[in-house]
């Protein structure tokens, strides 16, 4: 049996851990809201507002990082495991609300990570389209994929004709 199995987590510490988890979860939800707002701004192509939203998102991420560090420091001081073993700790297994909050927090982190990946893909796609359009407008060779004829055969677009011809 490891040394953390014998750690007693008195009720005031459970309340403190509960509050740390609740605070971190609230920041995770705030980040989720910010990511959704960022997605709407991307869809409407509002670069100035998107830049402000990015700054706000950075501030939320910093606060979330600080809160997570505070929770991990507290857990280390209490000799609690920081990873998946946390839910198997004897004192935590006796605290269903702590386990529920832990699982909600993990789900929130996964959701925010997945949404962030989606938004990054949208940004990269939009950037690529804008660059292609700028190349076409400047009369530079089109670096886009092939254009297709009526028979489905691929052919390169002639200089400056890319989307105009398509």
- Checking if the pLDDT of 1 tops 50, the result is no
Instruction: Examine residue 150 and state whether it is found in any structural domain, yes or no.
Output: no
Task: Look at the chain and count its residues.
Answer: 166
Does residue 147 fall inside a structural domain? no
Q: Is residue 107 a part of any domain in this protein?
A: yes
CA distance 67 to 75: 12
pLDDT of 11 > 80? The answer is no
Token couple for 139: 């009369």
**What is the predicted pLDDT for the residue at 141?**
62
- 146: in domain: no
Total domains in the fold of the chain: 1
- 156 falls within a domain: no
Ramachandran quadrant class, 65 (left: phi over 0; alpha: psi -120 to 50; beta: rest): alpha
| pLDDT tens per residue across span 86-113 | 888 877 788 888 889 999 999 999 999 9
The two beta strands, 154-155 and 147-148, are: antiparallel
Any domain includes 161? no
Query: Which is more confidently placed, 160 or 71?
Result: 71
Check residue 166 and report its DSSP letter.
-
Share of the chain above pLDDT 90, in %: 35
What is the domain extent for residue 93?
Answer: 3-141
The domain spanning residue 31 has which CATH number? 1.20.58
């Amino acid at each position: 049996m490891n040394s953390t199995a014998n750690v007693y987590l008195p009720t005031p510490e459970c309340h403190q851990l509960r509050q740390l988890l609740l605070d971190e979860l609230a920041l995770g939800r705030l980040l989720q809201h910010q990511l959704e707002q960022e997605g709407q701004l991307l869809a409407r192509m509002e670069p100035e507002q998107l830049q402000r939203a990015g700054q706000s998102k950075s501030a939320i991420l910093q606060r979330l990082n600080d809160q997570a560090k505070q929770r991990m420091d507290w857990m280390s001081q209490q000799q609690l495991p920081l990873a998946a073993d946390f839910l198997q700790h004897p004192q935590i297994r006796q605290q269903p609300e702590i386990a529920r909050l832990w699982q909600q927090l993990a789900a929130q982190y996964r959701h925010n990570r997945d949404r962030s990946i989606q938004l990054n893909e949208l940004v990269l796609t939009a950037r690529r389209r804008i660059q292609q359009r700028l190349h076409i407008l400047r009369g530079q060779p089109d670096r886009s994929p092939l254009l297709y004829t009526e028979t489905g055969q691929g052919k390169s677009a002639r200089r400056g004709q890319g989307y105009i011809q398509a």
